[in-house]
Amino acid sequence: MIKITIIDRNDKEHQVDAPTDMNMSLMELCKAYELPVEGTCGGMALCSTCHVYIQSAHELAEMGEDEEDMLDQAFFVEDNSRLGCQIRLKDELDGLIVKLAPQAE
Amino acid sequence: MSNNIKETDILIIGAGPCGLFTVFEAGLLKLRCHLVDSLPQAGGQLTEIYPKKPIYDIPGYPSVLAQELVDNLMEQIEPFGPEFTLGERAEEIEKLEDGSFVLTTSRGSKIKAPVIAIAGGLGCFEPRKPPIGNIKDFEDKGVEYIIRDPEFYRNKRVVISGGGDSALDWTIFLAEVAEEVTLVHRRQGFRGALDSVEKVMELNEQGKIKLITDAQVVGLGGSDQLEHVQIKHKTEGEFKKETDHFIPLFGLSPKLGPIAEWGLNITKNAIEVDTFDYRTNVPGIYAIGDINTYPGKLKLILCGFHEATLMVQSAFKTIYPDKKLSFKYTTVTGIEGLEKTAE
């Protein structure tokens, strides 16, 4: 179990426990805690509704082509943008801080 | 009823996997179906978003491609002769005195049925609109999200934004038509077919288009019609670009759309149903698949199939209150198709 901080769109911080033995993604974690993440496509990097900004210095697995492509269709994209569904929860991510990107409409 | 109204037993809104399988289960009970979908082809998000992705949780198929599953469903329902109205959005429903419904689509088609099954998935696919504060003010005044007729842009100045196939393809096409084409993309790499990427690079080198990468359109201006866009470059800051048209091409995203106005109980963009038979709060209207919600709901294709099956049993009783329904196993009786309806 690791701790992850998720900052919602009203700048409220949620520190949550995240299991690392279930092959869960950050998107699924947000949904499990009923944070306002749609995850429309079900985690296939096809919708960008789980767009987040990484705010801590953790080293994440490199972005795949699918994810990079999908971010082309997202808005408010910054250098620290990632899709939550492509981030697998692992022990190394203990203390990770992410902020949910604004929703387009 | 006038002649241009089509009649059916179950009107299915949404031709995704769940809507398609409804035709099969309805057909076993000799009920006819008519499907309406805003997309130009059947298959819903499977065809529109991820045709080439494998699906691993369809019982009996260790792996099946999304498009393959849709093709198989189409083959499976073929004996029951479903009718399709595609490329038209379900707009309005009207309840008649006899308890049946008439649906009107975005293009004015009318379909009458005693039962409506909403299998609308995530909703209707609509163009993604960039979050530029005043973009609505310029819609149809220089801002278009879909290119309907390329001739419209002849001898005009056009700014296209996006990095996918449609942005690339239209840039290439309009290079020949428009007076000036500028493509703005947020990074240097492009997804989309390699051929198109190379062609765009070539056109840029030849000076036939202007390619601005590492940049985004962040503002729009003009007194009545669009006159310029504001472009923000990653390192060079903001600048103004005069143009007649701005065409943002960021793909499609689903919206609940007109269904939200039909008097159904809705929570979090999903229609509340009773799991007994997936009925909504409006008698005669059911909701199945990803578009419904109930305690314990899982948005899975296989759950949608189950919901469709139970829903159809209840629909039969709604349509034929006096007939006794005898459930049949297809392993015993096989599939008996339906006669073609006379046009």
Q: A64 vs B231, which has greater pLDDT?
A: B231
Residue B13 C-alpha from the chain's centroid: 11
A68/B contact by beta carbon, under 8 A? yes
Tens digits of residue pLDDT in A13-28: 999 999 999 999 999 9
Partners of B122 on chain A (C-beta within 8 Å) are 40
| Cβ distance of B49 and A46 shorter than 8 Å | yes
A90: left (phi over 0), alpha (psi -120 to 50) or beta: beta
User: Residue written as tokens 């006159």?
Assistant: B227
A63/B contact by beta carbon, under 8 A? no
| Cβ distance of A46 and B250 shorter than 8 Å | no
A1/B contact by beta carbon, under 8 A? no
- Residue B325 has a pLDDT of 74
Distance CA B309, CA B286 (A): 12
B291/A contact by beta carbon, under 8 A? no
Tens digits of residue pLDDT in B52-89: 889 999 999 999 999 999 999 999 999 999 999 999 99
Q: Which residue of B has its CA nearest to A34?
A: B268
pTM score of the predicted model = 0.80
Domain ranges of chain B: 5-126+253-333, 129-250
Of B72, B71, B65, whose CA–CA distance to B50 is shortest?
B65
| Cβ distance of A72 and B163 shorter than 8 Å | yes
Q: A29 vs B325, which has greater pLDDT?
A: A29
A23/B contact by beta carbon, under 8 A? no
- Residue B342 has a pLDDT of 56
> Measured between CA atoms, how close is B319 to chain A, in angstroms?
34
Instruction: Please give the DSSP secondary-structure letter assigned to residue B274.
Output: B
Counting one residue from chain A and one from chain B, the pairs whose CB atoms sit within 8 A come to: 49
pLDDT-flagged residues of chain B (< 50):
1-2
| Cβ distance of B45 and A41 shorter than 8 Å | yes
Question: B5-126+253-333 sits in which CATH class?
Answer: alpha beta
Candidate from B49, B129, B299 with C-beta closest to A105: B129
CB of B159 closer than 8 Å to CB of B165: no
In sequence order, which residues have a C-beta less than 8 Å from that of residue A59 and are 6 or more positions away? A92
Alpha helices (H) along chain B: 17-28, 45-48, 66-77, 165-177, 194-205, 301-319, 330-333
| Cβ distance of B50 and A47 shorter than 8 Å | no
Domains B5-126+253-333 and B129-250 share a fold: yes
A69/B contact by beta carbon, under 8 A? yes
Angle at B321 between CA B317 and CA B325, to 5 degrees: 50
The third-level CATH classification (topology) of the domain covering B129-250 is: FAD/NAD(P)-binding domain (3.50.50)
Residues across chain B: 343
Of A49, A35, A104, whose CA–CA distance to A76 is shortest?
A104
The third-level CATH classification (topology) of the domain covering A2-100 is: Ubiquitin-like (UB roll) (3.10.20)
- Residue A17 has a pLDDT of 96
Interface probe, candidates B57, B128, B213, chain A, greatest A C-beta count within 10 A: B128
CB of B92 closer than 8 Å to CB of B102: no
| Cβ distance of B186 and A40 shorter than 8 Å | no
| Cβ distance of B250 and A69 shorter than 8 Å | no
Partners of A102 on chain B (C-beta within 8 Å) are 131
B251/A contact by beta carbon, under 8 A? yes
- Residue B3 has a pLDDT of 56
Instruction: Please give the DSSP secondary-structure letter assigned to residue B97.
Output: T
Partners of B162 on chain A (C-beta within 8 Å) are 72-73
Candidate from A41, A65, A77 with C-beta closest to B49: A41
| Cβ distance of B128 and A72 shorter than 8 Å | no
- Residue B343 has a pLDDT of 52
What does DSSP say about strands B83-86 and B64-65: parallel, antiparallel, or unpaired? unpaired
Give per-residue burial for B49-65: e unless 16+ CB within 10 Å, then b: bbbeeebeebeeeeebb
- Residue A43 has a pLDDT of 84
Q: Which residue of B has its CA nearest to A103?
A: B131
Tokens representing residue B198 in the block: 């190379």
In chain B, % helix, strand, coil (3-state, to 5) comes to 30, 30, 45
Instruction: Please state, for a pLDDT cut of 70, what percent of chain A lies above it.
Output: 98
Provide DSSP, B150-180: GGGGTT-EEEEE-SSHHHHHHHHHHHHHSSE
- Residue B1 has a pLDDT of 43
Instruction: Please give the DSSP secondary-structure letter assigned to residue B11.
Output: E
Tokens representing residue B331 in the block: 């392993």
| Cβ distance of A73 and B164 shorter than 8 Å | yes
